[in-house]
Amino acid sequence: MPTLECRHCGAPLPESAALGPFTCPYCQTVNEPSTVLARPASLSAADQKEAIKEAVKEELDQRLLHGSPAATTPESSPQPDEPGPSHDSAGGLGSLKSLVASFGWSGLILIGALTWGVLEKHHNGRLLRQDAVGSGLTPKDLANLQDHGLVTLKVAPPPGGWKAYDPGLELPWLLTQARAWAPDARLRMLQMTRAQSNGTVDLQDDADAIVEAVFDSEEAQARSATSHARTHAEVNTGLVLRLAQTKVQAQLTWGEASQPLLPTSETVPLARVFAALQSARSLPDTPLTGRLTWNAEAGWVWGVQSIATAHHAPFVRASDARIIR
């Protein structure tokens, strides 16, 4: 026997709703006999969920394709008299609103969960189209990128691999990636999370390990300032490269013209920096977080501290691993 449901909210209705006008006790919608929806009782819960899952995926794909925001409620779906992608309801899919009416409250909950999973990928209020924007991009493609979001780059692994990544030893490799974006790119700051006592970071298996570097470029600023693609005062002020779990991700920074470029970065391997601290009995408990920054008096320096105890080590000059007291 078919189950009768409200045409608006999908709540179950008694059989008498099919005989005359019936007011839904949940949403107060008046259901005429011709508008009461009947759901086949033979449709299994698994089939319902699969149908909803496919329909939500189709709906979101269509909205991304046409540049409209992802739907978060059934009411935000396009109506028949509005422009927007249409769906064939003969197969029981229809619009999101029809799905809720067809499959009841469990369908609404599932739709909410699926939609939330997609919306979690938002960045600065915009949906990151990871597959469309990030798939196959190389560092050189960043020169023409106008997107503010985080994109995944296609690059060869660092010479020393990902498992034991030494941020100091691999800095030339990282700088090569940045200079594909802008030939005059220079480091402004490098930071790391979860470095071990041997000066390496496990960017393969440690899900919490991250190396992030910020680069500046006067050429990129000038290029974006004269670009016809940008019609406002913002210019591309820099580039952030983020390394984690064998991936290289990039994000362009935008704003007013930044300060002049810093002197060329130079550093010995981080393993040598940590060895100097160990010799002086000044290396904090690992794992460590740290930064490579510019100091007007000492030049490029490393500063590290213990994640567990927050104990700071003395600064170490990056060019020769000399401890600065």
How confident is the model over 273-300, as pLDDT tens digits?
999 999 999 999 999 999 999 999 999 9
**Alpha helices in 44-85, H assignment, sequence order:** 45-65
Domain limit, last residue, from 67, 92, 123: 123
Q: What is the pLDDT of residue 55?
A: 58
Q: Are residues 53 and 7 in the same domain?
A: yes
Q: Are residues 156 and 73 in the same domain?
A: no
9 neighbors 25 (Cβ within 8 angstroms): no
pLDDT tens, position by position, 221-237: 888 777 645 555 677 88
Q: Are residues 209 and 90 in the same domain?
A: no
Amino acid (one-letter) located at 236: N
Domain limit, last residue, from 74, 108, 123: 123
Q: Are residues 206 and 305 in the same domain?
A: yes
Among 206, 198, 173, CA closest to 272:
198
Read off the pLDDT of each residue in 199-218 and give the average, rounded to a whole number. Answer: 96
**Alpha helices in 120-170, H assignment, sequence order:** none
As for how many domains the chain has, the answer is 2
Range of the domain at 89: 3-123
Q: Which of 72-86, 95-109, 185-199, 206-220 has the lowest mean pLDDT?
A: 72-86
Q: Are residues 209 and 110 in the same domain?
A: no
Q: Are residues 243 and 147 in the same domain?
A: yes
Q: Are residues 91 and 175 in the same domain?
A: no
Instruction: For residue 236, give Cα distances in angstroms to 120, 177, 239, 256.
Output: 26, 17, 8, 8
Q: What are phi and psi of 64, to 5 degrees?
A: -65, -40
Q: Are residues 107 and 164 in the same domain?
A: no
pLDDT tens, position by position, 136-182: 789 998 888 776 678 999 999 999 999 999 999 999 999 999 999 99
Predicted model pTM? 0.59
Q: Which residue has the higher pLDDT, 177 or 83?
A: 177
Q: Mean pLDDT over all residues of the chain?
A: 75
Domain limit, last residue, from 123, 142, 160: 123
Which residues is 12 bridged to in the sheet? 5
Q: Are residues 232 and 89 in the same domain?
A: no
Q: Are residues 108 and 192 in the same domain?
A: no
Q: Are residues 316 and 176 in the same domain?
A: yes
Q: Are residues 118 and 150 in the same domain?
A: no
Instruction: For residue 144, give Cα distances in angstroms to 179, 180, 188, 191, 228.
Output: 14, 11, 22, 26, 12
Q: Which of 169-173, 190-194, 249-253 has the lowest mean pLDDT?
A: 249-253
